[in-house]
């Protein structure tokens, strides 16, 4: 599992290096995730080797929110001063996400052939 976590961290590092060298306006971890996705698409066995490590990280996902919570507490005064735009951005972002998701599902339903119900009866 240590090799798998090392591989995940290497993809994140590669993304950081690429964004710094090319001056991309995209966060490094996003580029690293795209590289990881490409590697798993090309090498399905690689995805199988990462499965256990990814599952272990996901079991402890709540710990990854601690730094964000600390950041909010650190800037609590600013959040209190600017709560209206924050709430507006959250609400608008949620509505846009729901709309785009609904449109994507509708488009996929049109493009994909109908499936047999096939469930257990």
pLDDT at 88: 97
Return the pLDDT at 115.
76
Q: What is the pLDDT of residue 71?
A: 85
Whether 42 has a pLDDT exceeding 90, the answer reads yes
Q: What pLDDT sits at residue 37?
A: 95
Q: Over the stretch 75-86, which tens digit does the pLDDT of each residue have?
A: 899 989 999 999
Note the pLDDT tens digit of each residue in 8-38.
Answer: 999 999 999 999 999 999 999 999 999 999 9
* CA–CA dist 9, 103 (Å, integer): 34
> Kindly report the CA angle at 71 between 65 and 73, in degrees rounded to 5?
105
- Whole-number average pLDDT of the chain: 90
């Amino acid at each position: 599992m240590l090799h798998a976590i090392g591989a995940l961290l290497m993809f994140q590092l590669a993304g950081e290096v690429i964004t710094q060298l090319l001056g991309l306006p995209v966060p490094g971890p996003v580029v690293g995730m795209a590289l990881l996705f490409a590697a798993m698409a090309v090498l399905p066995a690689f995805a199988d080797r990462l499965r256990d490590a990814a599952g272990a990280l996901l079991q402890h996902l709540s710990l990854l929110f601690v730094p964000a919570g600390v950041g909010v507490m650190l800037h609590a005064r600013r959040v209190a001063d600017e709560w209206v735009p924050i709430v507006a951005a959250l609400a608008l972002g949620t509505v846009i996400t729901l709309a785009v998701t609904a449109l994507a599902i509708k488009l996929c339903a049109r493009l994909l052939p109908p499936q047999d119900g096939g469930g257990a009866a």
